[in-house]
Structure 1
Amino acid sequence: MQVENKTALITGGANGIGFACATELLRNGAAHVAILDLATSPGVESALKLNAEFGEGRGIFIVCDVTKAREFEAAFAKTTDEFGGLDIVINNAGIVNESMWELMIDVNLKAVVRGTILGLQHLGKDRGGKGGVIVNIASVAGLDPFDWFPVYAAAKHGVVGLSRSFGATYHYEKTGVRVIAICPSFTETRFSADGGNDFGPFVDRGLVINKLMQQPLQKPEVVGKALVEIVQRGESGSVWISENSEPVCEVFIPNRFSLMASSKMRK
């Protein structure tokens, strides 16, 4: 699907990866973007920046706490009312705070579940929609163990599993909605700036801060460009990595049953 003349909704869209995604979608011809974020975010300024660069009315800011169901539902409704429809949903909002792990699960996993379900309800052909694309922002921590942030990793593993499952042929044939996950590596965001304050009680803070400082960081714009690419060509249920500023690439996650069959054949 090309992004020209399409309307997108992006959670956590006021800065970082979310704002980069909004910018790249508009740069590639999207008609409108709605950026959802907290009232304390720079959402108003971010929408003004988008409209200054791409034209008045191209972007709007909607105050939304994704952990609150009614606010989330209202944000979807406002987007469709404002722009006459919706084509692309980007579930990007996330936090890193192992000490507040319940909130992290609420934002990083439960809200992605809700955002995916709302996306399917608004976009699904079986619900009167036109079809479309849902991209869930996971992390490389959703593919491998992440000993520094175990609960964060658990949530991101859940996002990958959710996206692969809702992206399965069974759902796509009914809804016409592709569901895809993208897993960025270390990226310049608020997490990379102040992540040292968010460790839980089970890691050596000094050691981890030292290791984090050694990690190469990519710009949010790299992830934004990668997102546009997978919106255009990614298959439903696919998982992609955006890492070290390299071209985005698809991850092959083997099916458990195929592995079992291969093992039996080798015996």
Structure 2
Amino acid sequence: MKAVKGCVALITGGAAGIGLQYAKELLRNGLRAVTLADISEERGNRAVDEINKEFGKNRTIFVRTDVTDREQFTEAFESTVNTFNNIDILVNNAGIMNDEVWEREIGINFVGTVIGCLLALDHYIPKYRTKKEGVIVNVASTTGLEVFGALPIYVATKHAVVGLTQSWGSESHYNRTKVRFLTLCPGPTDTTLALDGLDKNLGPAYQDIFKDSQPFVTLQDPKHVAKALTHAIQYGKNGSIWVAEDGKPPYEVVMPPKEKMKKSL
């Protein structure tokens, strides 16, 4: 895959679940090396072992990273360039679904994404990329394109990620940085976040809303979302939004200008 081959990536939340599948799928498509940035050392070390067994040694490192801590996030970038000399792709994947701790949720899902983008744009990708163009993929959710009353704060963070990525994905920013921005919106996926997060809400009333409003969904395999990521990196235009849901091929969502959404009185 031309857009990935020979590149170096940094993936937050990369030690397990979808994040680890992103790393493996990118490596299968020619990625030279990947940094797994995650809060859990146990998962991180296990993930490095998995990648070493499948792809050989010296293809990955783990860096313990709380994405809400700018110094720790900076260290993830520093370790990447010190080990692999380059950084081309950032995947801001770290996230939680837990409205009970909504301050922390906002910090990880949105503030952490902002920190990653600022570091990548202002300090690392333009200086250390191997090709003429870098890529930042911010992982949102299909809830970032919808309304879901049971988890309003989680949904708000994902809407924020979509708006953030589209704004940085403007032509003016691309012309100054040569960094392409993409949003990936996975639908319900078979991860601990999806399975456990729905019970972590603002109280019984919100759990009742979930029970009353949630249709039956089929959880897709994380490997499907990983394939969607590589597709978006290969084919996605700057600022584009990609949805991966129901185990089907990814598709692009185009947000209409507000004038076209105007409701006549």
Q: Which amino acid aligns with 1:9?
A: L
Kept in 2: contact 1:123–1:177 (CA 8 A): no
For residues 235-254 of structure 1, give each alpha carbon's deviation from its aligned partner in whole angstroms, at most 9, with x where no partner exists. Answer: 11000100101100000101
For residues 156-180 of structure 1, give each alpha carbon's deviation from its aligned partner in whole angstroms, at most 9, with x where no partner exists. Answer: 0000000000010010011110011
- Partner Cα distance (1:57, 1:139) in 2: 32
Is 1:7 equivalent to 2:15 in the alignment? no
> Equivalent residue for 2:108?
107
> Equivalent residue for 2:64?
63
- Partner Cα distance (1:3, 1:41) in 2: 28
> Equivalent residue for 1:43?
44
The residue correspondences of 1:40-189 to structure 2 (distance < 5 A) are 40-125=41-126, 130-189=132-191
Task: State the superposition RMSD in angstroms.
Answer: 2.2
- Partner Cα distance (1:144, 1:207) in 2: 15
| Counterparts in 2 of 1:217 and 1:39: CA distance versus 1, 3 Å | closer
> Equivalent residue for 2:226?
224
Q: Which amino acid aligns with 1:172?
A: Y
User: Matched residues, percent identical?
Assistant: 39
- Per the normalisation by structure 1, the TM-score is 0.91
> Equivalent residue for 2:210?
208
| Counterparts in 2 of 1:41 and 1:181: CA distance versus 1, 3 Å | farther
- Partner Cα distance (2:222, 2:27) in 1: 15
- Partner Cα distance (1:33, 1:203) in 2: 43
For residues 89-138 of structure 1, give each alpha carbon's deviation from its aligned partner in whole angstroms, at most 9, with x where no partner exists. Answer: 0000000111100000000000001111111124554x575531000000
| Counterparts in 2 of 1:209 and 1:259: CA distance versus 1, 3 Å | closer
* TM-aligned CA deviation for residue 192 of structure 1: 2.3
Kept in 1: contact 2:13–2:94 (CA 8 A): yes
Structure 2, unaligned stretches of length 5 or more? none
Q: Which amino acid aligns with 1:103?
A: R
Structure 1, unaligned stretches of length 5 or more? none
> Equivalent residue for 1:247?
249
Kept in 2: contact 1:180–1:237 (CA 8 A): yes
- Partner Cα distance (1:128, 1:226) in 2: 26
- Per the normalisation by structure 2, the TM-score is 0.92
- Partner Cα distance (1:63, 1:23) in 2: 19
Q: Which amino acid aligns with 2:167?
A: S
* TM-aligned CA deviation for residue 146 of structure 1: 1.3
- Partner Cα distance (2:125, 2:61) in 1: 23
